[in-house]
Amino acid sequence: MQTHEARLSALREELKRRGLSGFVVPICDEHMSEYVGEYAQRLGWLTGFGGSAGSAVVMANKAAIFTDGRYTVQVREQVDGNHYEYVPVGQTKPHEWIKTHANAGDKIGYDAWLHTEAWVKMASDAAASVGAQMVAVDGNPIDAVWSDQPTRSDAPLAVHTDADAGKSSDQKRSEMAEELRAKGVDAAVIAALDSVAWVFNIRGGDVANTPVPLAFTLLHSDGTAELFVAPEKMTPQVQAHLGNQVTVRRYDELAEQLGTLSGKKVAVDPDMSVAAISQALKSGGAQIVQMRDPAILPKAIKNERERQGTRDAHIRDGAALTRFLRWCSEELVKGGQDELSAAAKLREFREATGVLKDISFRTISATGPHGALCHYSVNEETNLPIEDGHLYLVDSGGQYLDGTTDVTRVVAVGEPTAEMRKRYTQVLKGHIALAQARFPDGTAGGALDALARQYLWADGVDYAHGTGHGVGSYLAVHEGPQRIGMSAGVQAGTGEPLRAGMILSNEPGYYKEGAFGIRIENLVLVRKADIDGAEGDYLEFENLTWAPLEPKLIDAALLSPTEIEWVNNYHTQVLDIVGQQLDGDDNIWLEKMCQPIG
């Protein structure tokens, strides 16, 4: 097997052959996806980095890898520092690094199918300031040297029934077309995979853990649409489902078709569309209108069927997780289990429901020091035994036809330390503060973030990730546009107003490098708040996730009476809702876990 050093050398030889001085390597696909298919894992293949966000710049004699605060430790474990400079993206962006390290006359390549137009302009301006040039490549050079690169998935499309979707594709396209007409737009390019799946009420199997097909859409202002997808994915059932208002074209015909729209006003989401789309439209004479993907907001605001579906999915999933937590309480302290075996066991419990379609992301199964890596991904090389005296953090979820789940719990293996209990309780206090929040309709997620961090901040500590992300309905586990996170800087979604029907996570955490990690995550549904005497419309959160907390980690002395009441009420509901799904020893164990505190 080729070493990562050999892969880097092969890439440099390919760049030299093409007359390029460097190349930019993002984790991305043609749809600006967060999670990408195996064929698009170019950064991982080149460097060994296993995170879901990051990029690299490779020059003839130097290279750098850029990651955010979630991966500060992980990138050093997985990527050889002798070949790559570790660069925190919060301090230096790739285009800034290029400006510092490029020389006059350098030609630095990029793949226009993997970057937004805004990024291309930013990088081109930075390179030009030192006399260098960004060059769009004809064919990705990594693909040229990746001899065993996986092919694109050929998984067939599947119909997501109107009964599960809550609204027909015809209705969705009609409503979006009305928006296009109102804005004087003739058509819209929809590139985000979950948007395409949502628009047509179809699902696919092209990305691990996310039921989406590799496809583009061109939606016209009369409600008709063109679906660009590999023909081998089509089935008679899907063809009949799409109807005669949808024209199916080959996946690789998108650029050609966009080139036929001369004189048309075509909407393109600048954040969700790659530069190659804009370049194809411009070359064909179309007028580009920058506009948010018309599916983004209606997809995020769940209809009543989707709301009930996610409630049902979480009850089912909560019972599976509770059975697993009981197993953890009995088996982990005995020894003999590790991060991989525990993750496999959790999947067994979910599969035992009989309706699990997939897990919703790769399970974060992390013990001891690995718990401090917020987005740790276990493999055979990193797998650690779960030992007495450690915390075991498990962040996981399931994909069901009626909903997508995402939940994090922490298990104390043996007796926890006072520090572990203190930090867990501080995280819990922040979780409760956000769970109980009431706020005016129109409040942005960024305005709520400090509620979850306040008790950690008061003690001089914090966590380097957002507090809440949107979640789809049998779709992406990370869904925009809503987000709860730090408002400072450019963080997509923190300025988006929260609306009734949106689903978000509530997941504050704490991470002590080299020691342990803590995160408490439930999903919540935004709903209208009924407040006597309220002056205006207010919103609140309905809890969706039902699974016991870890009593051994709760220091009731650090909780207020109101917080103790919240914990006790939550556990009463868990016992009532999940207990109905359990029997025998599972129920007895749950009753013990849900005993009142304080």
Q: What is the pLDDT of residues 114-166, one digit of tens each?
A: 999 999 999 999 999 999 999 999 999 999 999 999 999 999 999 999 999 99
Reduced DSSP (H G I as helix, E B as strand, rest coil) percent helix, strand, coil of the chain, to 5: 40, 20, 40
- The answer to whether domain 4-145 has CATH 3.90.1150.10 is no
By C-alpha distance, which of 343, 337, 342 is closest to 385?
Answer: 337
Q: How far apart are CA 393 and CA 369, in angstroms?
A: 10
How much is the pTM?
0.93
Mean pLDDT confidence for 541-554:
98
Classified by CATH at the fold level, domain 301-593 comes out as: Creatine Amidinohydrolase (3.90.230)
For residue 63, the Cα-to-chain-centroid distance in whole angstroms is: 27
User: pLDDT tens digit string along 240-290?
Assistant: 999 999 999 999 999 999 999 999 999 999 999 999 999 999 999 999 999
Do 17 and 31 touch, CB atoms closer than 8 A?
A: no
User: pLDDT tens digit string along 489-536?
Assistant: 334 557 899 999 999 999 999 999 999 999 999 999 999 999 999 999
Q: How far apart are CA 420 and CA 434, in angstroms?
A: 21
| Position with higher pLDDT, 74 vs 11 | 11
Q: How far apart are CA 588 and CA 593, in angstroms?
A: 9
Tokens of 174: 């009609």
pLDDT at 491: 45
Confidence of residue 487 (pLDDT cuts 50, 70, 90): low
User: What 3-state DSSP class applies to 305?
Assistant: helix
* Residue 384 pLDDT exceeds 60: yes
pLDDT at 489: 39
Supply angle C-alpha 425, 361, 527, rounded to 5: 60
Mean pLDDT confidence for 421-443:
98
Domains 4-145 and 301-593 share a fold: no
Lowest mean pLDDT among 382-391, 480-489, 524-533, 573-582: 480-489
Mean pLDDT confidence for 353-377:
94
- What CATH class is the domain 158-293? alpha beta
* % of the chain exceeding 70 in pLDDT: 99
User: pLDDT tens digit string along 311-343?
Assistant: 999 999 999 999 999 999 999 999 999 999 999
Domain parsing of the chain, residue ranges: 4-145, 158-293, 301-593
pLDDT at 73: 80
